[in-house]
Structure 1
């Protein structure tokens, strides 16, 4: 039977690791074994680097048919080519670095720290190329040798108490200090190397990728930080905040979208084609009217705020102006945008809630007949009043700043809804989509403020919930 002591012997653990029953180890043993095992793993990693370097020096991989030591190692050890290359490169970089090698062998450094340190040490001769040897007490002193030893001692000493990212940052800071301030900037500070790609895909989405210098990257991360924080909602009648259902990547995507929308809305963008950039959507009015009518955005409510009959219902036959002619025809689809083409009518309906509208009357073949005057559905003065009333996203538990919200028409303008305070509510893009989805409903109560009706699966009674900035109010009984 495998023996368990108060502190289990590490050698015994490594000899038969598959026989270690972790559940039988006491707290003290568990806490002691993990750091010891981590140190031993670094030591074993150092041994592997030395072994692979010897194989590389003897060209043993090529002798048995491999194209390189890296390709042999990748196949023999089941490593990715990148991981194999990292090991081969580490062995080559350590040849003339006995101090770094010793710290690696004893488990003080891991392979990533070795890479950061040796990369800097190899760059020091170029960084100090403009310095001449000096003399101290009559003895010649090479600044490169002196600086290399000082940097080695400093980085190894610091690495003993930190992880690889901290060591990499220290090495980068030393490189910045030693570099020629009058020469070209390092790659991570060179604006000329910045790249950004935005490519429409065949599926209709846009794929982006890029890399930036440190200043631009810092500005981007700073802008995203506050806007991508989790936004807990209040989706239950007990007032308990539910966690944000979005992943971190989804929150960042929403943040960058909000930044772009805010920039376009600011009116400070340079003109293109004689006007400031804005989102353009072409959609047939009859299609839009039908879509918003079917989405149920025209609910009325009784005096207690409970849903009443629809103001317009297809079943009653009212407002059926195109019943005989069918759907309006537009060449590129029922709704489309200049850059990315067709979009759903539902998305077009949401975009039209708070937008600059340019009416383009088209015939049934999709030919423009008349272009009307561009008007903003929510005038600036009314928008200020809306900001003052809702103080940001009105959805319960949200409260995102007003600058990052849309003005949602409760009764859609394409169905005759008026652009006035009693028919508008501020919603962030996330909750704007939720309202258009139809699970939640919103209406203006007798107090002149927005109230929200949760779906049946959250509250079977559908008790009205006050807007976010009036969350201190008790729920209506």
Structure 2
């Protein structure tokens, strides 16, 4: 029997009648109906929150609390709704701000974005960026609507940093060192003789320390000191690893057969060259961040490069990895690095939170050693990082994985009794896809044609 692939979209979520949605009994629904019903409820919840916030803003602006001798809009709400004072005050503040962000307000009322993302957008709309935010508002809303809340936060912080550099609001060397200590470590002894360690580190130093600890944990698993059944929590393993690093006074362990880098940074070519931002379009394509997505000041990047190993990773304007190393049987370090960037430092299975350090390079089309067969090559267009759980789901669980030419992953469930293969419920990506530049697309096609002609 030929397999039939079915695909559900958000249209099914938006087409449900509200009264029917609220009265539905999930206990009588099919599995797929429950999934779509849950998504529809969250969409309605976002729309209701948007309406409440807008109404709260109108209530506060018109000072309607005074008719009941209320001291403040928030105080009036506290006495009449089941919300704490802090939430009521935050609702008033956000409601008064929404009219100044019309695109955000419209997306909130339509349920395209929820309250957490509205708060993130409001947070980056600082006084010095009001005009720039207004120019970019539609673009910012369209980007964060496609992302998870944590990914939206990273994207907006990076946009804020680049926008400030663009208008010259801050020194390119970064914030004033006097604003916060670069690093702070306190040690105190308890009555029982144990030590309590309390530390606060800047983003760069924190990445160095965390990388060293993670590498040491990896090494201790490799040599058998740690195991899946050792009864230790992740925090206990990290504590043991810290002691081992200090006791040895040496370099941390290794990862994938070579010293693990202390700090990894991703940036675009123009930022690497130190070129200023020309215009809004240039601003949108800039990237300068630590491997975990934390924005990094360009001047800090150039300081790090003084003693760094630089690895080639050619990325197009739309985020496609163009070149990352040679074709070999097993994914090499360059290809693993490229996979990590292309799939936002996570397992490629939609909805998975596992970081790439927990993943293995999976051949979408099974590797074929026959040189006369061009299928199953260890190339970027046939590799994705999968965590062990989802690797088993693909190989033994019957899930089918499809890698699109732009590096995105679609997954189909195992065939049902009728032989149909339905796509899994869509999940939001970890990071934004950069808008495609037609000139880069034309250049990519030309490069691929030249490569094909040379083979």
Where on the TM-score scale, by shorter chain, does this alignment land: which range? Answer: 0.3 to 0.5
- The TM-score, its normalising length taken from structure 2, stands at 0.43
Larger radius of gyration: 1
